[in-house]
Homo-oligomer: A and B are copies of this chain.
Amino acid sequence: MTVRNLFLLPGDGIGPEAMGEVRKIIAYMNEAKNASFVTDEGLVGGSAYDAHGVAISEEDMQKALAADAVLFGAVGGPKWDDVPYEVRPEAGLLRLRKDLKLFANLRPAICYPALAAASSLKPELVDGLDILIIRELTGGVYFGEPKEIIDLGNGQKRGIDTQVYDTYEIERIAGVAFELARTRNNRVCSMEKRNVMKSGVLWNQVVTATHKEKYADVQLEHMLADAGGMQLVRQPKQFDVIVTDNLFGDMLSDVAAMLTGSLGMLPSASLGAPDAKTGKRKALYEPVHGSAPDIAGKGIANPIAMIASFAMCLRYSFGLVSEADALEKAIANVLDSGIRTGDIMSSGSRQVGTAEMGDAILAEF
C-alpha cells in the first residue's frame, strides 16, 4: 500500500487543540487499520507570522503543494489585528487556496437531529437539514486586480476591489455542483446578482449552458443571491446543492452554517482540479468555525468540525468511503448518547472537554 501524505496546519487559537483530536484518529487508523498515513506539520496564520514574519513560509507552502491533502485548523486572533495587510493571518489561508488552485469549496450544512433544538430556527425547519454549498474559491472579488487603496490627496482615499470571473472558472465550479448533485437529490440552485453585476450575468449564462450541454438530467434553478439568503432563513430544506461565487459563498455558507445550530460541527473541503495524469486532486480540509481566541488553550473547544473535516478528507482525497461514513456515524452516535462540548451543551446532556469528545468519537469509530 502506498503512503498517504498529510500536511497538518493547526494554525492559531483553538486550531491546535482541535487538530490534536484528529491526530489521535490518524494514529489509530495507522495502527489498527494499516492506513499508512504519514504526517508532517507546519505553521500558518499568526503563529507563522510570529515565527517567520509571514502568514505562511515558503517551506510550508512547498510541503502543502507536495502533500496528498492538507488539514487546516483556524487562523487569526486579536494579537495580530494590527499586522500589515499582506501578512495578516488570513493571507496564509488565501495563499494556500490560490497556489494550490483549490477552486471548489464544499460546505455541507447538516443539522444533526440531536442538535436541532440548538438552532435559532424552529426545529421542524432544520431537523434533518442537509444542504451542500459549493462555493467558488479562487476567483471573484477575493483575488481580482486592481485591489488597492489609492491616496487621492485632499485627505481622500479610494478603496478598490475587482470581481472577475472567466467562463472556464464558472464552468468548472458548475461541473462540480452538478456532479455532486447527482450523488444526492439531483437539484442545483445557482445564486448570483445578475440584476446588478455583469459577472452575475456571465455566471448565469455559463451555468445555464453547462447544464444544457452536460447535465440536463439535473434539476437547475437560478436565484438572486439576496433572495437566496432570505430563502435559506425562510425554508432551508428547499435546497439540495447551492452553487455560488466566492463572496456570496462566504456569506451564504455562514448563514447556512448558523441555521444548523452547530457551527462548531461543520467541516469543509477545498478541492483542485483532477491532475491530468494521476487523476488526483489537491485538497485542503478545514472546519467552518474560526480560531475562537476567547476559549483557546482551555481544552474546551469542540473538535467535531475538525474531525468531520478529516472524514471529508478520507472520502474525497483517499476514496476511503466506508471509513468516512464510519467516522461521521461515530460523531452522530456520540451526540445521540448525550455527550456535548460547552458550545452545544443543553440540559440533560453531559458536558465534556476537547479531549474527552475526541476520545468518545474514537471509541465509537
Contact = CB atoms under 8 A, between A and B. Distances in A.
A325 B21 CA distance: 57
A228 to B, nearest CB: 9
Contacts of A168: 156
A243 B21 CA distance: 40
A185 interface: no
Contact of A195 (B88, B152, B165, B255): B88
A133 to B, nearest CB: 13
Interface string A171-214: 00000000000000000000001011111111100000000000
Contacts of A144: 160
Contact of A257 (B149, B152, B203, B230): B230
A219 interface: no
B162 A163 contact: yes
A235 interface: yes
A138 to B, nearest CB: 13
Nearest to A158: B166
A160 B201 CA distance: 10
A152 to B, nearest CB: 7
B251 A233 contact: no
B251 A225 contact: yes
Interface string A48-78: 0000000000000000000000000000100
A31 to B, nearest CB: 39
Interface in A129-166: 141-142, 144, 147-149, 152, 155-166
Contacts of A166: 152, 156-159
Contacts of A257: 230
Interface string A250-264: 110011011100010
A227 interface: yes
A155 B213 CA distance: 14
Contacts of A193: 247, 250
Contacts of A155: 167
A257 B231 CA distance: 11
Contacts of A88: 195
A257 B232 CA distance: 12
6 contacts: A85-B201, A147-B197, A156-B168, A160-B162, A162-B162, A226-B251
